[in-house]
Structure 1
Amino acid sequence: MSMNPEEPRVGDVLEVEIDRWEAARGTVKTIYLPATSGMRELTIRIPPGSPDNGLLRLSGQGSDGTDLFVRLRFRKGSTKPPVPGWFVASFVAILVGGIVVFTQSHSSSKTNSASSSDTSTYSSYTTDTSTSTYSYSYTPPTYRYTYSPPAPVVPETKVESAPEDSAGIGDCLRNDGTDTSPQMVKAPCGSGTFKILARKTGTTLGSACNGVARSTHDYVVEKYTVYTRYGVETSRIPNLLESYVLCLRRQ
């Protein structure tokens, strides 16, 4: 919030590309930022259920001490995590075991009409004793792997409220803070209060009050969409559509 007529400072915006399944589960990413001595490494935590094109705000991490905004972009392509390495190794081990290990049975007497057979799960063969030739027939088992990703944990969201939200045009506000750090509360109109002349929604620019007659001050109310999980805040993103500027006249 600011009562100064100058526009608020906006920090750096850095785009980070992630998979949809990473956004659904939540993940940790390492990003690199330019610094005076080279590159600066910064590890960020992306909360579960983060939306595409969402913004994460990192206070004081910008290039000149401002806030750093990280914009999340969903990567095009596969939306499923890779097959775990342990599954591939187990599959190869089972398959090799199926080829190498099998049982055989032979007839003790040899005649032209004699034959022997094996009924192993993995292989079978017949024996022609007149030629001593063995023919093998192998049918490998069929393995199927089906992966069902867990349902994403959707955090609860709400727009942060402010005491001055209930004040309308014609009402008055009292500043319980300072000119640089105001704390505006609704109060009866009187000397030293600020009367609301207009309300400009969808902006955080104090210049929005330039065309309002008799306006002496502007009061910026910046709104945030707050994400919580089990009642604990996980992240917050600026919400420009809900933000507004109050055009005031000092009484």
Structure 2
Amino acid sequence: MDEVEVVVAHSERATLRVGDVFLKVDADQARIDVEVAAMALAPVPTPKVLWRKPPVLALAAVPGKALGRLGEPSTASPQAWAAAGAAVRKLHDAPLPHWTGRAGRDLDALAAELDSECEWLVRNNVLPADLVTRNRQVAEAALRPWAPAFTHGDLQIAHVFVDSNGNGIGIGIGIGIGIGIGIGNEITGIIDWSEAGQGDPLYDLATLMLGHEEHLGDVVAGYGPGVDLDVIHAWWSLRSLLGVRWLIEHGFDPFTPGCEVDALRSRM
């Protein structure tokens, strides 16, 4: 008999694995509504919805192995990273969904949230003031007008799966989780669509590349024209500044080597 494995669990949601079925438990059914609708519209491989009975969504595993994981070296080939870039471009060129996603937040509200988080980080001695100030300056470049695209909204590398001769399975939620063996160059699935919607396409690319700047050229080669590297750098700073408190409060460690705090330090 298959055992029940807790893949991810925090106060907002949880994911359980039973064999090749993943059960996502979420008290916010609007978030699950978005996930199901986005997967139905996305022109890229996504998990198959097996059934839904609120508050549970059952998904089939996608084949392959995660492209990588934040804080760990990626074993993916340059061709796999380029394939990820091409898949993201296909998503961004698709017809727009009718709702706004995480990557499409109001700029004034986002700037206010950023200022509040920066103040909290300094006031509570979580990060040095000069580190926060420098990254707040870098983040400014992301707060500009953008043409909306169909965005994933949480495109961590652990949410992008590539082929591994059928030997891997994967699922993700919030903080991405990938399980698999081997790696190839075909994108076999993109998971965790609860933040999808209209948004800034460069937010997706920045999220994908966070902590793996060495593969930026490969992703851009696959994605094609229209990538402003200054905005990518800005989203790295902005996303990391906004994420530190949430990660700490939900039991994760942004100080892990290669993760959010290191991303902030790299901008100094």
Higher-Rg member (1/2): 1
> What's the TM-score once normalised by structure 2's chain length?
0.19
> What's the TM-score once normalised by structure 1's chain length?
0.20
Instruction: Kindly indicate whether structure 1 or structure 2 has the higher relative contact order, using CA contacts under 8 Å at least 6 residues apart.
Output: 2
